[in-house]
Amino acid sequence: QVQLVESGGGLVQPGGSLRLSCSASGFTFHAIAWFRQAPGKEREGVSCINSGDHQSYYAGSVKGRFTISRDNAKNTVYLQMNSLKADDTAVYYCATDARPFCYSEWYAPPERYGYWGQGTPVTVSS
């Protein structure tokens, strides 16, 4: 049974950093995507990483500030978030569709992903 569990969210000041983790069980070597959903907004893709070659992809709004990585031995994907802004405030989710590579348009639609974690909230505020 596929299960994803996010952790690492919290309250951080603007300009600060957080590292989110997505621990997976029930499968290995699948591409993992991060999405986020702010109050009143649609869920949006943040980043995606392939399973084998670790090729990564980013939304334009986070490129250069966020870094996705994975440790396949631990079956865990990380999202290092630096230079956080108030606009980054959202619930962050990891998701997979049980395939080794990110979709070419990995960021949408989120409904194509069959497995989701419960989400971890990130609040960027002074």
For residue range 3-49, list pLDDT tens digits in order. Answer: 999 999 999 999 999 999 999 998 777 999 999 999 999 999 999 99
Specify the residue for token string 């989710």: 93
Chain segment 62-92, per-residue pLDDT in tens:
999 999 999 999 999 999 999 999 999 999 9
Specify the residue for token string 């639609």: 109
Residues facing 21 on adjacent strands: 7, 78
pLDDT of residue 29: 79
Quick one: pLDDT band at residue 105, thresholds 50, 70, 90? very high
Residue 1, pLDDT above cutoff 90: no
Once rounded to an integer, what is the mean pLDDT over residues 97-117? Answer: 94
Structure tokens at 71: 């440790």
Q: Whole-angstrom Cα distance, residue 95 to residue 85?
A: 23
Structure tokens at 29: 């070597």
Are the CB atoms for 12 and 86 separated by under 8 Å?
Answer: no
pLDDT of residue 10: 98
pLDDT of residue 103: 94
pLDDT of residue 89: 98
